Chains A and B, each alone.
Chain A
C-alpha cells in the first residue's frame, strides 16, 4: 500500500483543492506547450483532452487507496471506465496529430456568457445570504438588463412576479423548503 497519509490527504477537502490547483497549473503549462505541435486550430480540443486525461489520471491514482473488501474491490469498475476513457482519448489525440479531426469551431462572443456566469455565481452566493426569493428578484432583473432588455416595468413585473409565484407555488403549495438566507434568518428569525 503506498503512503497512507498521502491517500488520506488527497481524499480530503484540502487535498481536493490542492489537486485542483495542481491541475490548473498543469493545464495552463500544457496549453502553452501543445500550441506548436497541434496548432492553434486544435488548441481547444487539445485542452479538453488534456483536462480529461489529467482528471482521469487523478481518479485512477485515488483508486490505489480504496480499501479492498470482498472479491471484487470498489476500484475495479472505476478503473475499467478510466481505461475506456484513455483508449478513446488516445484515438482522438492521434486524429488531431494527423489533422484528420475536425478543427475547433470559431468561438462566438465570450464576453456575454462570462458576464452571465459571474451573475449566476453571484445569484448562488446571494441565495445563501438572502434566500432564493430575493436573490431571484435581483438575478432576473440584473440579467434581463444585461441582455439589453429595455422595458423597465416589464423587468420589474417579471422578477417580482417570479418571486411571488415561486413563493406561492413551490414554498406554500409544493412544500419545497427553498433557502431563506443566512442574513434573513439571522435578522428576522
Chain B
C-alpha cells in the first residue's frame, strides 16, 4: 500500500509541464546519441549533465535517465539499417536485424526492436520498483569467483553464435580477450604490450574497435562485392508493409518477456552491463527457440531478445545505484555525479529522505518508454530512408561518422587510427569466416573475467571456483552451455546419417 502511495505521488510529480518536456527532450536526444556510432549512453548522459545544473533535481534527473533509457534503443537503428551498431549493446541486434534489412524487411526489424525495447524497459522498471532493495543485497554479495564464472557464462554464447564455424568463433572471442590484456594491468600495474605508446596504456577502447569491426569492415566488404547500388527494400517504404502486425508482436511475447527479465537480472550486477545482457539473452532465445537454425539469418526473435534485454538492463543497473549508491555501468556512474550535484547521496536513505524524487524518477522512466514508442514509430519512415541512400553517398558518410565517433571517445587521433586498423582486420577476418561479434564479446568480457579471476585466486587459490556453490553451479552451467550445441549437432549428424 505504501509503495502504491509513493508511486501515485511520483506520477503526480511527473505529470507537470517541466518534467514531461524534460522526458521528451531526453528521449529524443537519447535516440540520436544511441544511433550515432561512437556516442555511448554514458557520453549522452555526460553531455547533457551541464544543462541540468540549474534545473530542479527531479527535472534534471528525469532528463538524464530518459537519455540513458532511449540511447539503448537508439543503438539498434543503425545496427538494423546499416549494420553499424550505435552502442556495444546493439551488436546482438545486428545479428538478425541487418539480415532483415537485406531481405527488404527493415521495418520488421525496426518495429520489433522498438516494441521489445519498450516492453523490456517497462519490465526492468517494474522489477526495479518492486524488488530493488532485496536484489541489490544479493548483487553486492557476489564474490570475484562468481563474477569470473558469470563472465565465463557470457562467453558460452560464442558456442551457439559460431554455429558450424565454432572454432573460428572461439578464435575470434579469444582475440578479443587477448586485445583486452593490452595496456596497464589492472591488478599489478604492469605495462603489457604497450610498445612505448602512451595511448596504449589504457588499452584499446571498445567503441573505436566496435565501429571499425562492424562499420568499416562492412564498407570494405560492400566495395569488394561491388554493391554500389542501394539495398533494395522493395515495397517496404509503404507504411502498410513496414511494421509488423499486432499479431506478429504478440507472437514474440515469450521471447520478449523472457529476455526482459533476464536482461534486468544481468543489469543488476555491477560491471555486467547491457552488452552482456543482450548477448546472453540472444543466446538464450536461440537455445529455447523452435527454429534456432534461422537465427542470424533474419529471425525477428533475435532482434526482440537483444533489444528487450538491453533496455531492461537499464532498470537493473538502477537497482544498485539507487539502493546502495554503487554505479553498475558508466552511464549510472555519470548519474551518481548528477545526484551529487543536487546534494543527493545515492543509497538506501534516498528512499526515505526523498521518496517524491525517487518514485517520480521511476514514474518518469515509465513515461519515457511511452514517449520512446511514439518517437520511434514516427521516426521509422525516416530511418528507412537511410537505406535508400545510394552507397556512393552512404559509404563515405559512414567513414566520416565512424571517425568522429572514434575520436569523440577520448578526443584522440590514435583512436581514429585504431578504428581504421580494426576495420581492415575485421574485413580480412570476415572474408575467411571469422565472425566479428565474438571479438566484441571478448573485449566486453575481458576485463571482468581477468580482474575477477585473479582477485579470486589471490583470495582463495585456484580451488575457490569449485568450493563456492554459486561459482561452481555457474561453471557447471557454462560447461553445459558450451557442450550443448556440439551434442545437438552430433545428434543431428547421427540422425541424418541414419536416414541415409
Interface residues of A (CB under 8 A from B): 11-13, 15-16, 44-45, 48, 52, 56, 59, 62-63, 66-67, 69-74, 76-78, 81-82, 84-85, 88-89, 91-92, 95, 102, 104-105, 107-110, 112-113, 116-117, 120-121, 123-124, 127-128, 132, 136, 139-140, 143-144, 147-149, 154, 158, 162, 166, 170, 174-179
Contacts and interface: CB of A to CB of B under 8 A. Distances in A.
In the A-B complex, list the 7 residue pairs whose CB atoms are closest, starting with the nearest.
A147-B392, A69-B188, A16-B195, A149-B392, A74-B190, A108-B224, A74-B185
7 contacts: A76-B454, A92-B171, A112-B226, A132-B407, A143-B399, A154-B393, A179-B413
Given A13-B197, A107-B224, A176-B404, A117 B424 contact: yes
B195 A104 contact: no
Given A77-B181, A78-B181, A71 B450 contact: no
A176 B408 contact: yes
Given A92-B167, A143-B395, A11 B191 contact: yes
B194 interface: yes
Contacts of B490: none
Interface residues of B, number: 61
A90 B152 CA distance: 23
B463 to A, nearest CB: 14
B168 interface: yes
Interface of B: 47, 167-168, 170-171, 174-175, 177-178, 181, 185, 187-197, 219-220, 223-226, 228, 390-393, 395-397, 399-400, 403-404, 407-408, 411, 413, 416-417, 420, 424, 427-429, 431-434, 449-450, 453-454, 457-458
B426 to A, nearest CB: 12
Given A16-B195, A66-B192, A176-B407, A123 B429 contact: no
Nearest to A19: B195
Contacts of A92: 167-168, 171
A34 B193 CA distance: 29
A136 B400 contact: yes
Contacts of B450: 77
A156 to B, nearest CB: 12
A144 to B, nearest CB: 5
B406 to A, nearest CB: 11
Contact of A73 (B167, B188, B195, B395): B188
Nearest to A91: B167
Contacts of A177: 411
B432 A52 contact: no
Contacts of B403: 123-124, 127, 132
A147 B396 contact: yes
Nearest to B178: A81
A178 to B, nearest CB: 6
The binding surface of chain B is classed by DSSP as helix
- Determine which residue in A44, A76, A112 has the highest number of CB atoms from chain B within 10 A of its CB, and name it: A112
Contact of A15 (B178, B195, B411): B195
Contacts of B190: 66-67, 69, 73-74
The binding surface of chain A is classed by DSSP as helix
- Determine which residue in B187, B228, B427 has the highest number of CB atoms from chain A within 10 A of its CB, and name it: B187
A70 B190 CA distance: 11
A85 B171 CA distance: 5
Contacts of A12: 195-196
B187 A72 contact: yes
Given A77-B450, A147-B396, 8 more contacts: A73-B190, A77-B454, A88-B171, A89-B171, A108-B226, A113-B427, A147-B223, A149-B392
Nearest to B411: A177
A8 to B, nearest CB: 10
B397 A162 contact: yes
Nearest to B222: A113
